[in-house]
Structure 1
Amino acid sequence: MNHLARRTTRRCAAALALVAIAAPTLASTLNQNVSWTVDRAGTTAKYRVVAYGDSIYAGYNGSVSNAARWAAPTVDSEYLSARWNADIESIRRTKSGAVARDVYENKIVAERSWMQAASTRVVTFEMCGNDGLQARTAFKNQTGTCNYAVLDSAVNSCKTYVAASMDYINANASPNTRLKVISNLYCPGYNADNVQSTCRDATTGQTVNLRDRFLPAITRMNYWMCEYARQKGFQCADSFAQYMGADFDSNGDGQVDSDALRYVQGDTEAAYLQRITVALRGTLRDANTHFVSSTTSADYIQSDDVHPTYSGPTVSAGLWGGSTGTGAPRYPTITNGRNPIWNTFGHERMGWALSVYNPASP
């Protein structure tokens, strides 16, 4: 199944779009807060997962009033419910359209009380998508001589606020927290950005390939997300590897592509860049056609070519406030650590990537 032909406006930027809201009095960011409790039959203990981020963790689906119920953090909560035989309260405090600084200041810091609750066992966050998107848009619109500084600025902002967020969570999360985990960025629109710029390189006088410029920038962001995680006591769910690499060995190197692309503790930035952007670049695939085998693919990105696909209903989240709900787990029993649709939708894959770090007990 090939999904590429029906999309012509691919974007290789970080995994987030600014929300376009029709009313001119509204800002380009949108709070999308959701509380959903996975209510497991026959249990009384309840623990909390707190997720901070932008439209990825929000479960953004193009609507200003609702979002996916089963966004990645809530998918992870279902895995935890099965593992711990407990009810899990999934708290998503998110702001679609927010750059990293905004997520840090107005979600992680301003809404710290959510992770300070004694029931908190997992704190997770993602950010930097809009920093990359805004830099990508600025670069794409350039004429004359190319200014690469806009990409460097996005990377530096990402590094600053990822590190600050980890430090703040370390200092403020409940002492009962068992797991702190960040999800890094996949690269939507990988194929479509294989086009030339409208600006020209100052040295060669030639236009440059957009993908050749954007891929190293997102790779640097991802390296520092995982490296800071290593330094600061977090785990790193490598969504880039999970989305961009096939689930089989396509190049005959003896490794499944999605495993080979993962950040390895001890990597230097230079070594990681070399591996992702040079040595294994031939294994990168547009996530609209994520190959779960050599003959079968799944579409991990919605029709906006940015946000992850998801399974199931939506919940209220947006202009009219957030929502609170409760429901039974979709999969009361999880076999071998994976639900039946773990590799079929983008949010399911990201939720599973978070779940592999879940502790054995609360």
Structure 2
Amino acid sequence: MSQPWETHTTLRLNGENYSRQELLLCSKDKLKNSKNPEWEKVIFRFIVEWLNNKNNVVVKTSGSTGNPKNILIEKNRMIDSAKATNTFFDLDKSKKALLCLSADYIAGKMMIVRAFVGGFDLHYAETKSDVLLKNNVNFDFTAVVPLQLESVLKSENALPINRIKKIIVGGAALRKDLIQKLEQVETEVWTTYGMTETITHIALQRLNGKHKTDYFQALPNVEFQLDERNCLRINAPLVSLNPIQTNDEVILLNSQQFRFLGRADFIINSGGIKLSPEILEQKMALYIETCFAFSSVKDEVLGERLVLVIESKPYSEAKFNKLNEILKTILNRFEEPKEIIFSDNFPRMTNGKLNRIKLKEEIS
């Protein structure tokens, strides 16, 4: 008996239509050619995996809360996820989309699956931070990580981003000052909530325009609950037979809407005071112009000592003193970092996320 995924084996790639056999031949050539870059080969390895006779694909988790691991995901559930996104964003055969995320991870793989399912024209580009800045083509849709969006917003040149009608951004929180800049662009920008286990996003939040919100809205057939820790539990039968328990602390507005607070496993317990680094970062987002993060180091008295880590060369004395004044104004006395540390480069994962675990190791 044939599987639903077996009806989605043709693809429009860079303006060309490919049958299943043509895709296999093209992929073989791409993978065999030593001159082709690895980022491109990853795309065609996944295409080959999608077209094989297995009902599952192997997907790597990002490793944002622990060691990366491989998990199996059913192709049919990936199709259900793709259909939900394609319907929400009206992606059909008349549309054109850009793949600029690594196909090593679920977000990049799902861009390809959405093209298989929706029949839209999928163009691909190297996964670089300035990929949107260099864009000179009109697209209906793309998915990016914050670093890629930040690059074009910092340039003050809105033209490249306005060439794309709709953008989803995931993987990490976007800074408040950059969210404010989104009001200057015509593009619809949405932030996503999801993970590898939910086959990318199962909720969306509009960041700009007259329809922007301060909460995540569930996609169809998705419902939310809280556990005893006020962490989110996801019921999404189309992508998972069982409820998915997260470590994400949220404010649940109703069964389909929530406000994200932060990850419970990132909570810093300093002298019995529990502090969420993500909430502190939101408070300070408008006052520190470079990337920064709140973390902790071991302390004999407090257990954990709260520190602020800034991706920058050390500040001048005047700038350092001004920052301290701002910290005292914006944060309460328990939230004030006990130390400010400067780092030339933050450790990041391949998908652009800050590696908080490695950062904590580096500063300890």
Shared fold (TM-score, shorter chain, > 0.5): no
Structure with a larger share of its residues in helix: 1
Structure with a larger share of its residues in strand: 2
**Structure ranking higher on relative contact order (CA contacts 8 Å, 6+ apart):** 1
TM-score scaled by structure 1? 0.26
Name the larger-Rg structure. 2
